Amino acid sequence: MSKGDYANKGIHTRLAHIGNDPREFFGFVNPPVVHASTVLFPDAATMAARNQKYTYGTRGTPTTDALSSAIDTLEGSSGTILVPSGLAAVTIPLLAFLSAGDHVLIVDSVYHPTRNFADTMLKRLGVEVDYYDPLVGAGITALMKPNTKVVFTESPGSNTFEMQDIPAIAREAKARGAVVMMDNTWATPLYFRPLDHGVDISIHAATKYPAGHSDVLLGTVSANEACWKRLQETHFTMGCCAAPDDVYQVLRGLRTMGVRLERHEENALDVARWLEGQQGVARVLHPGLESFPGHDIWKRDFSGASGIFSIVLSGGGEREAHAFLDALEIFGLGYSWGGYESLAVHVFLGDRTVAKGDYQGPVIRLQIGLENPEDIKADLARGLAAAAG
Ligand SMILES: *Cc1c(COP(=O)(O)O)cnc(C)c1O
């Protein structure tokens, strides 16, 4: 059975077998971690023509090929580049498809460092940047200009989890010649496959669920056939390649990502439902809850939910938010997510221009880890009691 045969198998079968073929490396189950700059050529003619599979460490190794090919199977993409962080997975495709004089539309609920990159680097390079309402849907048409080259989406949105109508946005944006990109970190390719819904380029902070243990930084960018060449050329031009040990760790993480995600989903939904009934909680911002405004889109397009969502405290400000966080014993106070452990952070929404929301109290983002849900709930109850006191 060749690697391609796994494309039609169940997701857990795929996760267990995609990427490397053990028979290509003496039968060892896992691929070698190739540490490489120089690759030798057998003779001058081969060297001059660079006529062999691998030519230099920055341009791919058996280790990077194993992960790229695994991600391609999951995303249904023509090619995947691996970069040293999730943020680089955002910046490299934007640089690949935008030039001076172009216009980019970015969703207002975007991951903050993406906004920072657009507001500083892209603007300095002469790119016009506008932010749009995550609920815009087909209305994106009205915001597009003749020079709109990229529409950047992220669904659900960072921190407040607004669901975007990705098929409608992709259809309208592509009809007007723009490349559609999506930061798909929240869902992973297990719960949403952007290219199946009209997106051209799917972006992941593999730092999160694929790595899964809060110890690796990595980004992946997957493109359809139309966008792959340009993305790959930019990757080579920038020299922004990922390190072999990190690539290996993410491939290792993928093997268990399916079972981890199922538990994250189950724990998070259980805790989210419980939180809906707690005093001191005004709202729970989780797309998988029937009470959430974007629930219908989530149900239509996504096949699951990961372990991160937010709560809105009923009133109060920074003092109450800090009291909540400081009372937590199991939850760590930290950025990032997707690891095995629970994390909490007081969300800052001051950079928003459109999707400001109307939140009656502080917004606290929770990553629900693999701990026992009763312990997680008891910890959150401590936080809520402290915020109320
Ligand atoms: C964390 C995150 C990133 C950036 O990933 P890093 O590896 O931490 O740079 C990008 N997009 C989203 C949505 C994220 O949550």
231 Cβ inside 6 Å of ligand 1:
no
List, for residues 33-53, the tens digit of each pLDDT value: 999 999 999 999 999 999 999
Residues contacting residue 287 through CB under 8 Å, at least 6 positions apart: 156, 161, 163, 294, 295, 297, 298, 302, 305, 309
Pair (172, 25) in one structural domain: yes
207 touches ligand 1 (CB under 6 Å): yes
Between the CA of 205 and the centroid of ligand 1 the distance, in Å, is 5
Q: Which of 264, 296, 292, 241 is nearest to 187 (CA)?
A: 264
Cβ(336) – ligand 1 distance below 6 Å? yes
* pLDDT band, very low/low/confident/very high, at 8 (cuts 50, 70, 90): confident
Using one digit for the tens of pLDDT, what is the confidence trace for 355-385? 888 899 999 999 999 999 999 999 999 999 9
Whether residue 185 sits in one domain with residue 67: yes
| Cα 230 to ligand 1 centroid, rounded to whole Å | 23
Query: Which of 209, 229, 253 is the last residue before a domain boundary?
Result: 253
Work out the pLDDT band at 1, boundaries 50, 70, 90: very low
Shared-domain flag, residues 269 and 161: no
**Ligand 1 binding pocket includes 158 (Cβ within 6 Å):** yes
- What does the pLDDT read at residue 357? 85
Query: How many domains does the chain contain in total?
Result: 2
Tokens standing for 303? Answer: 């096949």
Closest Cα to atom 8 of ligand 1: 86
Nearest to 361 by CA among 347, 345, 374: 347
Protein residue whose Cα sits closest to atom 7 of ligand 1: 86
Q: Which residues neighbour 239 within 8 Å (Cβ) at sequence distance 6 or greater?
A: 58
Q: Is residue 285 located within the same domain as residue 148?
A: no
The CA 325 to ligand 1 mean position distance, Å, reads 22
182 near 201, Cβ under 8 Å? yes
Q: Are residues 194 and 311 in the same domain?
A: no
**Cβ 111 under 6 angstroms from ligand 1:** yes
Which residue, by CA, sits nearest to atom 5 of ligand 1? 86
Please state, in angstroms and rounded to a whole number, the distance separating the CA atoms of residues 211 and 192. Answer: 18
The CATH number of the domain holding residue 280 is 3.90.1150.10
Mean pLDDT for the chain? 96
Measure the CA dihedral 227/216/160/108, to 10°: -40
Task: Express each pLDDT in 122-132 by its tens digit.
Answer: 999 999 999 99
Shared domain check, 153 and 66 = yes
- Flag whether pLDDT at 3 surpasses 70: no
Task: Output the CA 356–ligand 1 centroid distance in Å.
Answer: 21
Among 222, 238, 253, where does a domain finish? 253
Q: From the CB of 87, is ligand 1 less than 6 Å away? A: yes
Cβ within 8 Å of residue 32, ≥6 positions away: 25, 62, 63
> For 214-242, what is each residue's pLDDT tens digit?
999 999 999 999 999 999 999 999 999 99
pLDDT band at 322 (very low <50, low <70, confident <90, very high): very high
Cα dist from 291 to 161, 191, 283, whole Å: 13, 20, 9
Tell me: do 82 and 211 sit in the same domain: yes
**339 shares its domain with 361:** yes
Between the CA of 86 and the centroid of ligand 1 the distance, in Å, is 4
117 lines ligand 1 (CB under 6 A): no
Which CATH number fits the domain that encloses residue 145? Answer: 3.40.640.10
pLDDT value at position 2?
A: 53
Domain assignment of residue 281, given as a range:
257-388
Asked whether the predicted pLDDT for residue 282 surpasses 70, the reply is: yes
Regarding the beta carbon of 109 and ligand 1, being less than 6 Å apart is answered no
The Cα–Cα gap between 64 and 57 comes to 10
Phi and psi of 185, rounded to 5°?
-60, -40
Do 230 and 277 lie in one domain? The reply is no
Q: Give the Å distances, CA to CA, from 320 to 159, 238, 388.
A: 18, 45, 7
For a mutational test of ligand 1's pocket, the pick from 114, 164, 208, 347, i.e. the residue with the most ligand atoms closer than 8 A to its C-beta, is 208
User: Does residue 68 have a pLDDT over 60?
Assistant: yes
Q: Specify the residue for token string 């934007």.
A: 94
**DSSP assigned state of 15:** H
244, 264: one domain:
no
Nearest to 155 by CA among 146, 147, 164: 164
Mean pLDDT of 317-346: 97
User: Which residue puts its alpha carbon closest to atom 10 of ligand 1?
Assistant: 86
Q: What is the pLDDT of residues 128-151, one digit of tens each?
A: 999 999 999 999 999 999 999 999
Q: Are 309 and 164 part of one and the same domain?
A: no
Residues 177 and 73 placed together within one structural domain of the fold: yes
- Ligand 1 pocket test target in 107, 117, 159, 183 with most atoms within 8 Å of CB: 183
Q: Which of 253, 279, 295 is the last residue of a domain?
A: 253
Tell me the average pLDDT across 347-351: 92
Structure token digits, residue 24? 């290509």
Please say if the pLDDT value at position 306 is more than 80: yes
Closest-CA residue to 71 (of 179, 209, 168): 209
